[in-house]
Structure 1
Amino acid sequence: MESLFFILTTYMFQCDKTTILLQLSRKEKISFIIYNQLIKKLWELKKNRPIQYVIGQTYFFGMKFIVNEKVFIPRPETEELVYWILQDHKNFIHNKPIQIFDIGTGSGCISITLKKKKPEILHVYAIDSDKEALNIAFQNARLHNVKISLKNIDILKDKIDTYPKMDNNYVNIIVSNPPYVRLSEKKFLHPNIVQYEPYQALFVPDEDPLIFYKKISFWIKKKLTGIVYVYFEINQFIYSDIIYFLKKIGFLNIEIRKDYQGFFRMVRAVYYKKK
């Protein structure tokens, strides 16, 4: 709770923790307006509203991102997924241009970070089914002065076929942190996640928990040629099912990694098809 207090106060007073501690020790007065705003936000925290939504921002890869209840709050394990991509392609020495598809982009944190860290990436397509989420991604792209293509597509219903560059001249990187929490696992989540974070960004039916991975993978097989690198964030409880599925449909070089907490939370695979 102490850390939340300092996140909130350093945001509101636009200063560091040391300054806040000094102000507290000196019992410095604050304006009535600031006091009322502070009390209001403390009540929001008491009601389990995530601190990121209370202050309207969070940090991902050391970069500030605008967030609200329309987008899932970026997590450290997603930073690890992005780091994996950057390490795998750190020199971008491919003799072909690279394009990235970020499916289920939400706040745009994955797309924007990749483009910011590696501006030599030719195309970045950030895809989401929610127009309001894409508006947040647009604001974040503008905040970081990066150019990405935002696409309003529901991958469960629509075809991802609006891109002209689908041939052997490109190296394709597909990255997705899709909904993967089974409804039966809902009871294990913290109340602030269930109450405030977008339902559609979290849950999948128990009878088909791989629904998003299947849609994305079959789209890759149908539409993309050449070499395709695939990076997924996954549910640690069904990682073996995901590996089995990817092997079954012809993906190669499958590697799974643990996150900083020791859970299997990300997988990389490669798909190759001649034109």
Structure 2
Amino acid sequence: MRYFDKFYRLFQKTLQNLYTDPKEVENIFFLLMTHVFKCDKTTILLKLSRKVKIHFLIYDKLIRKLWELKKNRPIQYVIGKTYFLDMEFIVNEKVFIPRPETEELVSWILQDSNNTRSIQIFDIGTGSGCISITLKKKKPEIERIYAIDFSQKALEIAHKNAELHNVKISFKMVDFLKDSIFIPEMNEIAVSIIVSNPPYVRLSEKKLLHPNIVQYEPYQALFVPDEDPLIFYKKISFWIKKKFTGVVYVYFEINQFIYLDIMDFMKKIGFLNIEIRKDFQGFFRMIRAVYYG
């Protein structure tokens, strides 16, 4: 039984009822195998085709990981890492797993900031730190980045990721719904960028999510009350109006079911040049607006 090809078949059979798309099971398989064997996908494919035997100690480890997956634990938590715009990030149950649509949001910021030299960035609800760390790594000329989260455990993971990528980020623990964020002096800073992927899933939408999201990912990073689904967008927007001077660009990841509500709210309180974009699946999932303080 301890052969690559036989384990592959066992893996597919074990998880086929948890994931409707066979390609997803295959992707999870290769993520696990390349992690455990510390190699690339091509090497695993060769071992599969040659029916290479697996050492019993490694096989036992793989079986334990497979049972974790069978219990709906996301592969990213099982292997303790994920990838975001081709960069590796440490993750565990204390932080939300970065998604492809967030990659698109960060790519939008990078594209927009190509011709802007003096920038300071605030990443609200940083989680694993993937947004702020990627921005600093891809654009090291950014002067200052402040990454904010209410969870000390999440910030510990974000700190580790910043060290992993050797970038300097100012991390601050703030409960954004309750506390005010200190705004440093903005001497010679021409532009401020606020980016946030806040909780935006309404509790009534919980049933639409895959069980591994509901069971394992941090509840407070996901859900908002049905009666006030814009709670974080409102708080951030009013904070910008109250505290910032000069030009402020804001980038939000959003709930595709209430994108019109978010647009209307931002228009009403004075944000301009509002643009909304679809993600790779064709859903309206990100918005950019400008505020002139």
Both structures adopt the same fold (TM-score exceeding 0.5): yes
5+ residue gaps, structure 2, are 1-24
Alignment partner, residue 53 of structure 1 = 77
8 Å CA contact 1:167, 1:226 repeated in 2: no
Alignment partner, residue 234 of structure 2 = 214
Residue by residue over 1:47-103, the C-alpha shift from the partner in whole angstroms, topping out at 9 and shown as x without a partner, is 11111111011100110001111100000000110011111111324xxx2100000
User: TM-score scaled to structure 2, two decimals?
Assistant: 0.89
Give me the identity figure in percent: 78
Alignment partner, residue 62 of structure 1 = 86
Answering whether residue 258 of structure 2 is matched by residue 251 of structure 1, we say no
Answering whether residue 130 of structure 2 is matched by residue 109 of structure 1, we say yes
Alpha-carbon distance in structure 1 between the residues aligned to 2:190 and 2:115: 16
Residue by residue over 1:126-177, the C-alpha shift from the partner in whole angstroms, topping out at 9 and shown as x without a partner, is 000000000110000000000000000010011112x322467441000000
Answering whether residue 173 of structure 2 is matched by residue 123 of structure 1, we say no
SS in 2 for 1:184: helix
8 Å CA contact 1:103, 1:128 repeated in 2: yes
Q: How many residues align?
A: 269
8 Å CA contact 1:61, 1:79 repeated in 2: yes
Alpha-carbon distance in structure 2 between the residues aligned to 1:216 and 1:74: 21
Picking from 158, 169, 172, the partner of 1:148 is 169
Alpha-carbon distance in structure 2 between the residues aligned to 1:31 and 1:2: 22
Shift of 1:4: 1.3
8 Å CA contact 1:67, 1:136 repeated in 2: yes
Alpha-carbon distance in structure 2 between the residues aligned to 1:166 and 1:224: 9
8 Å CA contact 2:120, 2:189 repeated in 1: no
Alpha-carbon distance in structure 1 between the residues aligned to 2:180 and 2:252: 20
Alignment partner, residue 100 of structure 1 = 121
Amino acid at match of 2:238: F
Shift of 1:182: 0.1
Alignment partner, residue 7 of structure 2 = none
Report the aligned-residue RMSD. Answer: 1.2
Answering whether residue 292 of structure 2 is matched by residue 272 of structure 1, we say yes
Q: How does 1:214-253 map to 2 (within 5 A)?
A: 214-253=234-273
SS in 2 for 1:206: coil
Structure 1 outlier segments of 4+, above 6 Å: none
- Of 56-65 and 20-29, the range deviating more from structure 2: 20-29
Alpha-carbon distance in structure 2 between the residues aligned to 1:257 and 1:179: 19
5+ residue gaps, structure 1, are none
User: TM-score scaled to structure 1, two decimals?
Assistant: 0.95
Answering whether residue 24 of structure 2 is matched by residue 3 of structure 1, we say no
